[in-house]
Amino acid sequence: MAKKEVWQGNEALSESALRAGCRFFAGYPITPQTEITEYLAKRMPQLEGRVFLQGESELASINMVYGASAIGARAMTATSGQGLALMAEGLSQLSDAGVPAVVVDVMRAGPGNGGTESSQGDYSFVSGSLGHGGFKAFIFGPSTVQETADMVYDAFDIADKYRVVVAILIDGMLGHLIEAVELKPFRDMDSLPFRQWAEKNDPTGPKVHWCMGPNWEQHARDVAAMYESWSELAQVDEFMMDDAEYVVTAWGTCARCCKTAIRALRAEGYKVGMIRPKTIFPFPKQSFAALDEGKVKQIINFENAIPEQFLVDVKAALAEARKDIPIVSYTHGMGTCFTADEIEAKLREVVK
Amino acid sequence: MAHIEVAKERCKACELCTTACPFGLLRLSDDYNSAGDHYIVQDNPEKCIGCKLCAIQCPDTVIEVYK
Amino acid sequence: MEQKIYGLPEGMNDKKTSFCPGCSHMAAYRTIVESLNELNERDNAVIVRPIGCSLNADYSFDIHAIQSMHGRASAVATGVARMHPEKTVLAYQGDGDAHSIGIAECLYAANRGEKMTCIVINNSVYGMTGGQMSGTTLLGQRTTTGIREFDNQGAPIHVAEMIAQLEAPGYVARAALYTPKDIMQAKKFMVKALRCQKELGKYSYIELLSFCPTNWGVKPVDCIKYAQENVLPVYPVGELKTCF
């Protein structure tokens, strides 16, 4: 086993992406993502065959990624909310053309200019539809630096396999968090999957996605079927769920704080557990379908977004499984985040 | 000796080539192609010198020139 | 025995396109294909085409093509050129595309000196959407979004001149696709632009003044006179910067 090293979230993510075979990065500075761009600006020129480029905007950056990926290179960009809004057009094009890419969103607070503080406010924006048109991204929502590094490593494979955009949703807190992690080794660049579609005259290349009419509709149906097939790929962390009577639902950094609070209550005998989706799309509906209505008294949702966004998916998963379990929800998000103490206090009110 | 061949099915009857011919040999046909367009025909083909100007002018490269 | 001395170049097929009669787009494509053939670069070329009338040429030529969003072709071409510097990379854009919505991408690719050639079809209107005012619409020109007045929209923008004063670009030129003489000059410029990219590894920009008979409301045969009288005084043709 390799030795653990201390890494900041943003930098661990960047290094892991390079080890996964990322050959091209274009990005534009934005807090709290900037360390990714800075790290790669320094690191990529040290490695052979890698290209770093600072775009003149997020619009340009995502389109540079599109060009690099469409010609065959594993490519990535990283940004935060405002930048993601500008990238929406390009992301939609990538998903329509079937050109894979990895996109990191280090979320910051609020709409508009908002604030640079951590938040989970881009959840719906990323999980709803990837820009206009309704195609989707495969979305990871890690909650530790180790998970972030591992997920970005896998993200490139998923992007290549399904020819989709894979989004990594982290927030400023996780991006700036420093933890001991074990990074995976460098991939052999020659062993990366060959992209036949990126070759000249390949009929499935980015040239011919412009196929209006029945073919285009069939293409969309195929894509929809692919999304359905992803349900098996959903990842979830079911924390102390075996006998849980009170089920916390949370994701990302918010879920870390929930764990601390849950441990404290467990020590006192309260049967509290947590369902933490590690993939936002596909959403781990199975975990909600498995809940026992006779046993679970209350679901308590925590998220750093006002109004709730993650809760919508939780409710949809419960409704789909026809589970009638009362839900209570607590939010932060405009520059403040839940602390473990605060969550513990809220949980005590519920389990009392 | 030179002559031109017009791909009449692709001709869109824009008539730009008629301005290019130094001898004014080109004009629109009286009948139509399958798209319902007139197409370019050449009068007095023996006067054609194969200068290529009509073919270069034609945006759709409908005209082939032989010399 | 008579030999064929002119016709569709190798790499272009005889599929009928949906361009309007008299539209210059296919003349532009032919110029590109002929120039690539001359340099033996067609198989090595990648052309990035953003949305706009240019898409009507789908499948009518044999060049590796990548679609891009409106205005972003230069950014996409940047990604291609950076990963494959050995390729001949072309961005085929329109005036609304490169001179309005994508002006940042266009100018920054030029300013970075990307190893690519940006080809801009300037017909002074938005063609595909049906003749709206673009950045290059002439003063007094009638469009479906009004007649251009200086007090309201300013003067037509001159992006070629802007690019020519940047340090990095190697070759900047404006040509017309009006008369056979203009088209032959355009081809000469195109070959130079591609050679500048290929041989010197520099950025080239070439603007091709084009007809849009449908949206100008001018019969194709009258377009030559109209363009010579109205467009050429505003957008003079010639080489603005050259590396040869």
| ipTM for this prediction | 0.96
Do A5-232 and A234-351 agree at the fold level? Answer: yes
Q: Give me the pLDDT at residue B57, please.
A: 97
Residue to substitute from C55, C61, C76, C128, interface A, most A β-carbons within 10 A: C76
* Burial letters C108-142, b for 16+ CB under 10 A, else e: bbbbbebbbbbbbbbbbbbbbeebbbbbbbbeebe
The whole-angstrom distance between C127's CA and the closest CA on chain A is: 19
Which residues are CB-neighbours of C89 under 8 A, at least 6 positions away? C45, C46, C48, C77, C80, C81, C114, C115, C116, C117, C197
The whole-angstrom distance between C235's CA and the closest CA on chain A is: 28
* CATH number for the domain formed by residue range(s) A234-351: 3.40.50.920
* CATH number for the domain formed by residue range(s) C25-241: 3.40.50.970
In this prediction, the residues of chain B whose per-residue pLDDT falls under 50 are none
With a cut of 90, say whether residue C216 has pLDDT above it.
yes
Q: Sorting pLDDT into bands at 50, 70 and 90, what band is C101?
A: very high
The whole-angstrom distance between C187's CA and the closest CA on chain B is: 11
Q: Give me the pLDDT at residue A215, please.
A: 79
Q: Where are the domains of chain B?
A: 3-66
Percent of chain A topping pLDDT 90: 90
Which residues are CB-neighbours of A269 under 8 A, at least 6 positions away? none
Of C75 and A199, which is predicted with more confidence? C75
Q: Sorting pLDDT into bands at 50, 70 and 90, what band is A158?
A: very high
Report pLDDT digits (tens) over A287-311.
999 999 999 999 999 999 999 999 9
pTM: 0.96
Please state whether A213 falls in left (phi above 0), alpha (psi between -120 and 50) or beta.
Answer: left
A70 contact residues in C (CB cutoff 8 A): 66, 76, 79-80
Q: Sorting pLDDT into bands at 50, 70 and 90, what band is A201?
A: confident
With a cut of 60, say whether residue A212 has pLDDT above it.
no
Report pLDDT digits (tens) over C155-180.
999 999 999 999 999 999 999 999 99
Average pLDDT for C222-232:
97
Q: Where are the domains of chain A?
A: 5-232, 234-351
Which of the four CATH numbers 3.30.43.10, 3.40.220.10, 3.30.1490.100, 3.30.70.20 does domain B3-66 have? 3.30.70.20
Average pLDDT for A118-125:
96
Report pLDDT digits (tens) over A47-60.
999 999 999 999 99
**Given CB atoms, is A68 within the 8 Å cutoff of chain C?**
yes
Average pLDDT for A204-230:
79
Alpha helices in A104-235 (DSSP H): 123-128, 145-162, 172-176, 214-229
Average pLDDT for C46-66:
88
With a cut of 90, say whether residue A61 has pLDDT above it.
yes
Q: Give me the pLDDT at residue A210, please.
A: 54
Could you tell me the CATH superfamily of domain A5-232? Answer: Thiamin diphosphate (ThDP)-binding fold, Pyr/PP domains (3.40.50.970)
Average pLDDT for C34-48:
97
